């Protein structure tokens, strides 16, 4: 490993008081260790004391250097200057408003080193009311890419980048972009990365909303600037990815965000002739990329927006924009009316022929004849559901709860439970009891072939059927503890919750959850008895259920002789009467299933003695055996006498 720093943290600061103090301090106090961190703070011509505060902090931090320069007008220049001076294996860009979680760099460096990742995202949380991206942080992802995850939906540079990648690609921030200067940098790193990692189990970065509202991302920017950003990003994606579904996956982000923001700014232009000119440019801008494949990925309101742009319908587009603004759309961010919950919250809905249409502006306007596809939100509707009980017993798995389809009244809603065997096309359907969204269903796990079975609820509301995996939304009373039963047919069935989402899964036939670990011997002793020696074996079984009489203690003797006694409660009393060697085990047997564990050797167990018909007998544990093995026999009196006489 290099003797230099592991990470260079670059902080571009402009008039960031008092936030910059916490920002820098959060770097200096990282669990990674100050000796492994290089901190470069670039004061971009601040006038509020930020530069002086950086100098004060650097005086007590040997690994920190401060660079002062005249104001450059944005963060791109200061970040580039920091990159020129960086010597760490990795670089991390931190805004002076924000701060790091205490273990952020340690965890991200570990993820990069373990997985050979060129980019690492650490979970971002908002502070002071600022919204942070969430969809890509549902779980840790050791290795992923822009097509298999949601990482492309956060293009800010506050991530860990392998510096070798940055220098090999000659990556620098675009000083020609007035907004989104970080997007080409981050997107290129994503697309060229050998692997991308996501650290989702630690709050790595805190995005802070400034009380003065002067976060750079909160500043207004004109239509031209946002059009330039959209053009740059669309061209970048097109240069890196061939036409097709993969390209559409990435363009989705830019049509839903950058194009939307450009249109929201466009409506503020005061002159109609300028609006008309810009609208024509927008149409030319999206034409090379907008097709059926991309349209199918976009929310309906985005398809409607693109249709109005392509048709040059100026007044109608203005109406749509004002309609969106009235419903909370903002000129920055990624949440629109259609994106928040899969559809607008207040407008009416028409359900017809298995499709749901939102009554956005100009829906079925006979003069415009806008295609219904621009209003079809069927794919955006989601199932709202909750599991209120999940009980696995000898009678099967019983699930209860309620479910409905977004924005469609629950009255008349029906459901079917589908079990899908993972890794195969096999599925089984089970009728559900209940009406108006309530469901109550029992599944006989013993009837299923071995495998992992995922329960999915297919909910039908007004002719529209939507599916949802069950378990992630459940009542607090529903345990996440794994429960296992052995059925009368001898099938082991386990109910468990998957990580990280907490969905329910049935394990039939011990695919992952074995029965033997549920069986244990907790004690062995000789029980007081007037007749033959009786072995008392205490047994613990942590299964949630098994057939009556199925759990026994068994002794296997000479010539195939066998003695079996049931476990009563947690104890079995095993009498030993026949001569020979007897091996003792615990056995669970039902139907076609059988599980056996040995009773372990008992070093403290002595020899038992008793009389039969006046003659002495003994039962003696034998050493060196895997399981407890007892030799039972009659005492040889002549041998015993000779032993005593010596």
Cα 72 to Cα 42: distance, rounded to the nearest angstrom: 11
How do residues 117-135 score in pLDDT, each as one tens digit? 999 999 999 988 888 889 9
Q: Residue 45: helix, strand or coil by DSSP?
A: coil
Asked whether residue 178 carries a pLDDT value surpassing 90, the answer given is: no
Confidence of residue 642 (pLDDT cuts 50, 70, 90): low
Alpha-carbon distances, residue 401 vs 341, 437, 566 (angstroms): 21, 8, 39
Level-2 CATH architecture, domain 383-508 = Sandwich (2.60)
Residues 537-547: b if buried by 16+ CB within 10 A, e if exposed: bbbebebbebb
Strand locations in 380-432 (E): 383-393, 396-405, 414-421, 427-431
Asked whether residue 338 carries a pLDDT value surpassing 90, the answer given is: no
How do residues 546-585 score in pLDDT, each as one tens digit? 999 999 999 999 988 999 999 999 999 999 878 999 999 9
Contacts of 562 (CB under 8 A, 6+ apart): 554, 555, 556
Q: Residue 478: helix, strand or coil by DSSP?
A: coil
Q: Which helix (H) or strand (E) holds 424?
A: none
Cα 401 to Cα 385: distance, rounded to the nearest angstrom: 7
Cα 17 to Cα 49: distance, rounded to the nearest angstrom: 7
Asked whether residue 142 carries a pLDDT value surpassing 60, the answer given is: yes
Q: Return the DSSP state at 334.
A: S
CB neighbours (10 Å) of residue 306? Answer: 23
Cα 313 to Cα 311: distance, rounded to the nearest angstrom: 5
CB neighbours (10 Å) of residue 280? Answer: 13
Q: What is the average pLDDT across 209-214?
A: 58
CB neighbours (10 Å) of residue 242? Answer: 7
Contacts of 585 (CB under 8 A, 6+ apart): 553, 554, 555, 556, 596, 597, 598, 599, 627
Residue found under tokens 């109550």: 440
Q: Is the omega angle on the peptide bond into residue 18 within 30 degrees of 0, that is, cis?
A: yes
Region for 251 from its dihedrals, namely left if φ exceeds 0, alpha if ψ lies in -120 to 50, beta otherwise: alpha
Asked whether residue 330 carries a pLDDT value surpassing 60, the answer given is: no
Q: What is the average pLDDT across 82-97?
A: 96
Q: Which helix (H) or strand (E) holds 340?
A: none
177-191, 402-416, 443-457, 527-541: lowest mean pLDDT where?
Answer: 527-541
Q: Which helix (H) or strand (E) holds 406?
A: none
pLDDT for position 327? 83
Percentage of the chain modeled with pLDDT above 70: 93
How do residues 351-398 score in pLDDT, each as one tens digit? 999 999 999 999 999 999 999 999 999 999 999 999 999 999 999 999
Q: Which of 215, 163, 219 is nearest to 189 (CA)?
A: 163
Asked whether residue 345 carries a pLDDT value surpassing 60, the answer given is: no
pLDDT for position 3? 72
CB neighbours (10 Å) of residue 348? Answer: 10
Q: Which of 118, 154, 115 is nearest to 136 (CA)?
A: 154
Domain 1-219 superfamily per CATH: Spore Coat Polysaccharide Biosynthesis Protein SpsA; Chain A (3.90.550.10)
pLDDT for position 210? 64
Confidence of residue 626 (pLDDT cuts 50, 70, 90): confident
Question: How many helices (H) and strands (E) would you count in the chain?
Answer: 14, 31
Helices (H), 460-606: none
How do residues 514-523 score in pLDDT, each as one tens digit? 999 999 999 9
pLDDT for position 364? 96
Q: Which of 346, 489, 318 is nearest to 407 (CA)?
A: 346
Q: What DSSP string describes 109-173?
A: HHHHHHHT-SEEEEEEEEETT-----GGGSS-EEEE-TTTSSGGG---S-SEEEHHHHHHHT---
Q: What angle do CA 168, 171, 176 make, to 5 degrees?
A: 155
């Amino acid at each position: 490993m290099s003797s230099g720093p592991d990470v260079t943290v670059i902080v571009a600061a402009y008039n960031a008081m008092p936030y910059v103090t916490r920002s820098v301090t959060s770097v200096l106090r990282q669990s990674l260790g100050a000796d492994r961190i290089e901190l470069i703070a670039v004061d971009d011509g601040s006038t509020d004391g930020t530069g002086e505060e950086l100098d004060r902090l650097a005086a007590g931090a040997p690994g920190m250097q401060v660079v002062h320069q005249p104001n450059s007008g944005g963060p791109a220049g200061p970040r580039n200057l920091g990159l020129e001076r960086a010597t760490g294996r990795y670089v991390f860009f931190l805004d002076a408003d924000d701060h790091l979680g205490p273990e952020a760099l340690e965890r991200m460096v570990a993820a990069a080193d373990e997985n050979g990742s060129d980019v690492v995202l650490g979970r971002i949380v908002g502070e002071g009311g600022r919204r942070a991206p969430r969809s890509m942080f549902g779980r840790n992802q050791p290795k992923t890419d822009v097509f298999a995850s949601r990482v492309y939906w956060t293009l800010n540079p506050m991530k860990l980048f392998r510096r070798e990648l940055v220098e090999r690609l000659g990556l620098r921030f675009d000083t020609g972009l007035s907004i989104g200067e970080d997007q080409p940098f981050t997107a290129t790193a994503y697309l060229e990365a050998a692997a991308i990692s996501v650290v989702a189990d630690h709050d790595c970065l805190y995005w802070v909303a400034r009380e003065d509202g002067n976060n750079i991302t909160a500043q207004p920017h004109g239509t031209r600037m946002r059009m330039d950003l959209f053009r740059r990003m669309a061209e970048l994606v097109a240069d890196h990815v061939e036409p097709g579904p993969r390209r559409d996956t990435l363009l989705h982000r830019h049509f839903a965000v950058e194009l939307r923001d450009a249109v929201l700014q466009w409506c503020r232009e005061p002159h109609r002739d300028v609006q008309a000119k810009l609208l024509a440019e927008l149409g030319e801008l999206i034409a090379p990329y907008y097709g059926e494949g991309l349209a199918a990925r976009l929310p309906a309101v985005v398809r409607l927006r693109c249709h109005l742009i392509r048709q040059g319908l100026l007044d109608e587009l203005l109406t749509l924009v004002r309609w969106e603004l009235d419903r909370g759309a903002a000129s920055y961010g990624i949440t629109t009316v259609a994106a928040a919950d899969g559809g607008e919250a207040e407008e009416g809905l028409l359900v017809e022929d298995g499709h749901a249409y939102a009554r956005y502006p100009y829906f079925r306007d006979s003069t415009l004849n806008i295609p219904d596809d621009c209003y079809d939100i069927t794919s955006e509707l989601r199932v709202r559901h909750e599991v209120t009980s999940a009980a696995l017993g000898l009678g099967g798995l019983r699930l209860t709860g309620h479910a409905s389809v977004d924005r469609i009244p629950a009255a008349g809603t029906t459901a079917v439970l589908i079990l899908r065997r993972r890794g195969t096309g096999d599925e089984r359907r089970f009728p559900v009891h209940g009406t108006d969204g309530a469901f109550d269903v029992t599944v006989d796990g013993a009837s299923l072939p071995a495998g992992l079975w995922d329960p999915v609820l297919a909910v039908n509301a007004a002719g529209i059927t939507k599916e949802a995996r069950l378990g992630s939304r459940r009542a607090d009373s529903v345990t996440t503890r794994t429960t296992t039963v052995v059925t009368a047919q001898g099938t082991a069935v386990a109910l468990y919750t998957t990580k990280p989402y907490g969905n329910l899964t049935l394990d039939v036939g011990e695919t992952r959850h074995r029965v033997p670990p549920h069986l244990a011997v907790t004690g062995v002793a000789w029980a007081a008895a007037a007749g033959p020696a009786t072995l008392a074996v205490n047994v613990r079984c942590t299964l949630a259920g098994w057939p009556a009489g199925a759990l026994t203690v068994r002794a296997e003797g000479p010539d195939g002789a066998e003695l079996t006694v049931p476990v009563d409660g947690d104890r079995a009393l095993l009498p030993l009467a026949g001569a020979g060697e007897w091996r003792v085990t615990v056995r669970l047997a039902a139907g076609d299933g059988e599980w056996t564990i040995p009773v372990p050797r008992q070093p403290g167990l002595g020899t038992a003695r008793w009389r039969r018909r006046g003659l002495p007998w003994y039962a003696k544990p034998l050493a060196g055996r895997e399981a407890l093995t007892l030799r039972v026999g009659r005492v040889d009196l002549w041998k015993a006498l000779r032993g005593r006489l010596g």
